[in-house]
């Protein structure tokens, strides 16, 4: 399922609960995967293939491994987690 909405669209919790993957895109964090909402897993509960492809393309364009950088600056207790937040 592919769902793309603008910021002014009224998303309902159901839209997130039934999505395969969800991410937020903006200038500062570039692409931020959303793996849970209301303590419920979205999709498999881990960043999905679309997020990985977007991060890889963005990293190649700017010459930076954004995932590696995020892990370097993540709090120690989050570094071992594969589930995301």
DSSP for 24-68, please give it: EEETTTEEEEE-EETTEESTTSS--HHHHHHHHHHHHHHT--HHH
Output the pLDDT for position 85: 46
**CATH 3.20.10.10 matches 13-79:** yes
Domain regions of the chain by residue span: 13-79
48 has a pLDDT exceeding 80: yes
pLDDT (tens digit, 9 = 90+) per residue, 19-46?
Answer: 999 988 877 667 889 999 999 999 999 9
In this predicted structure, which of 5-14, 27-36, 52-61 has the lowest mean pLDDT? 5-14
83 has a pLDDT exceeding 90: no
pTM: 0.67
């Amino acid at each position: 399922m592919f769902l793309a909405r603008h910021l002014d669209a009224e998303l309902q919790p159901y839209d997130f609960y039934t999505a395969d993957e969800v991410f937020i895109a903006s200038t500062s964090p570039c692409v931020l995967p959303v793996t849970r909402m209301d303590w419920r897993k979205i999709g498999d509960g881990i960043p999905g293939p679309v997020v990985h492809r977007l991060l890889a393309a963005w990293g190649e364009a700017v010459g930076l491994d954004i995932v590696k950088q995020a892990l370097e600056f993540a709090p120690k207790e989050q570094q071992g987690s594969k589930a995301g937040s």
